[in-house]
């Protein structure tokens, strides 16, 4: 989409084929260490009409995920989605919105849809896209019983990642004791709840007393601790004196090392993310006790939710039922205004979030028909 220069003297283009003006959040510099709002800028662009097979979507909610940090670098890690180009819209962020105009079969104005063209007011999306391994494909959503933004969290990529990670990657088995790190986060919270729903003893860790309270009281975990409260192996031993069988890793680093120490024979690790290492510019320090994987017959599996897209219908069905039955309460940290998305990402890395972090876009204020 063409950028519209703003400021003194700049006007909005008015031409055929352009239907509106919308904002986009673009990275303008790769964060050196911490993510800062100043690494991004908001630009206004002319929104074109959809072409054949495309729909125009007015976005309403978009997602803020720790993993975006992996693409806010000169080079994303090998095998991952590519880095976000500077000063371009960020393609590959899960978003929901309403169809404004459709030239694609099966989509009509007013439909609520999800797609992967986030952090912008409007998106023109092709109906056949398999963005983000298919999770980001343009999808019509059933929002009769659940709010649209749930499809970015528990019923969307977050739910898929939690579900696939716990049941398919960690291969949860009867009687397993489960430790989840970053358990107050979007994926971690869901993993902990799913393991509880399946009757497991679940230990959660997080980075503040308030989050620990949330884990104990709202999520009903069997034990929870603040990882800043002491040496991690000691905290873990206190919470799980007889060891653990599954570690769901969102943190990496010292957390993974502590888990390897606490895992029992035939234990399993599902590595979903390593937030402690996302800002690293060089190689990180790997776990110094990996030999325990040999002596204890451990399995360590990294995974991406997008490798398990085939499970998405099952996730929507099973988790959707639990949500409707009130058995899977979920937390959201909601930030208002598209322009706040970078600040929300920065806050997430400071730990100022519980549950799924979402941006309520409020595109309406910027909606403007330019003719055509």
Question: Applying CB under 8 A, which residues contact a copy of itself?
Answer: 70, 76-80, 252, 256-257, 261, 265-266, 271-274, 277, 282-304, 307
CA 98 vs CA 151, 323, 340: distances in Å: 13, 23, 21
Closer CB to a copy of itself, residue 185 or residue 252? 252
Closer CB to a copy of itself, residue 52 or residue 282? 282
Output 266-269 pairs: Cβ under 8 A, ≥24 positions apart. 266/296, 266/297, 266/298, 266/299, 267/243, 267/296, 267/298, 267/299, 268/170, 268/171, 268/298, 268/299, 268/300, 268/301, 269/170, 269/298, 269/299, 269/300, 269/301
Say how far apart CA 243 and CA 122 lie, in whole Å. 49
Say how far apart CA 321 and CA 125 lie, in whole Å. 29
- Shortest Å, Cβ 81 to a copy of itself: 9
Closer CB to a copy of itself, residue 15 or residue 281? 281
- Shortest Å, Cβ 92 to a copy of itself: 14
Closer CB to a copy of itself, residue 130 or residue 289? 289
Task: Give CA angle at 59 (43, 39), nearest 5°.
Answer: 35
- Shortest Å, Cβ 249 to a copy of itself: 9
- Shortest Å, Cβ 281 to a copy of itself: 12
- Shortest Å, Cβ 303 to a copy of itself: 5
Closer CB to a copy of itself, residue 130 or residue 226? 130
Q: Is 221 helix (H, G, I), strand (E, B) or coil?
A: coil
- How far the first Cα of the chain sits from its last, in Å, is 16
- Shortest Å, Cβ 119 to a copy of itself: 21
Residue 305 contacts residue 327 (beta carbons within 8 Å):
no
Give the tokens for residue 163.
């579900």
CA dihedral 189, 192, 195, 197 (to 10 degrees): -60
Closer CB to a copy of itself, residue 32 or residue 285? 285
Closer CB to a copy of itself, residue 285 or residue 350? 285
Closer CB to a copy of itself, residue 292 or residue 370? 292
Q: How far is CA 27 from the centre of its chain?
A: 18
- Shortest Å, Cβ 291 to a copy of itself: 5
- Shortest Å, Cβ 143 to a copy of itself: 31
């Amino acid at each position: 989409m063409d950028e519209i220069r703003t400021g003194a003297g700049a006007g909005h283009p008015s031409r055929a084929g352009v239907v509106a003006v919308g904002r986009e959040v673009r990275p303008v510099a790769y964060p050196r260490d911490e993510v800062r709002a100043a690494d991004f800028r908001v630009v206004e662009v002319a929104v074109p009409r959809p072409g054949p097979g495309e729909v125009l979507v007015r976005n309403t909610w978009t997602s803020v995920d720790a993993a975006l940090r992996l693409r806010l670098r000169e080079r994303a890690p090998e095998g991952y989605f590519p880095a976000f180009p500077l000063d371009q819209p960020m393609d590959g962020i899960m978003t929901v919105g309403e169809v404004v105009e459709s030239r694609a079969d099966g989509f009509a104005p007013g439909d609520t849809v999800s797609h992967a063209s986030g952090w912008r007011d409007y998106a023109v999306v092709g109906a056949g896209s398999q963005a983000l391994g298919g999770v980001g494909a343009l999808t019509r959503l059933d929002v009769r019983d659940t709010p649209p933004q749930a499809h970015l969290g528990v019923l969307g990529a977050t739910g898929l990642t939690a579900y696939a990670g716990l049941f398919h990657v960690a291969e949860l088995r009867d009687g397993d004791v489960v430790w989840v790190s970053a358990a107050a986060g979007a994926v971690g919270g869901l993993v902990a709840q799913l393991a509880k729903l399946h009757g497991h003893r679940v230990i959660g860790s997080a980075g503040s007393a308030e989050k620990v309270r949330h884990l104990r009281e709202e999520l009903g975990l069997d034990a929870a601790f603040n990882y800043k409260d002491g040496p991690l192996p000691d905290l873990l031993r206190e919470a799980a004196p007889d060891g653990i069988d599954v570690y769901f890793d969102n943190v990496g680093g010292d957390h993974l090392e502590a888990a390897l120490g606490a895992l029992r024979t035939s234990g399993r690790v599902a590595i979903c993310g390593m937030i402690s290492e996302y800002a690293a510019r060089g190689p990180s320090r790997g776990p110094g006790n990996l030999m325990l994987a040999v002596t204890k017959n451990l399995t360590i599996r990294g995974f991406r939710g997008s490798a398990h897209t085939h499970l998405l219908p099952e996730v929507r069905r099973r988790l959707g039922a639990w949500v409707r039955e009130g058995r899977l309460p979920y937390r959201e940290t909601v930030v208002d205004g598209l322009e706040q998305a970078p600040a929300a990402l920065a806050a997430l890395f400071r730990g100022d979030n519980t549950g799924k972090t979402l941006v309520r876009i409020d595109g309406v204020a910027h909606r403007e028909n330019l003719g055509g």
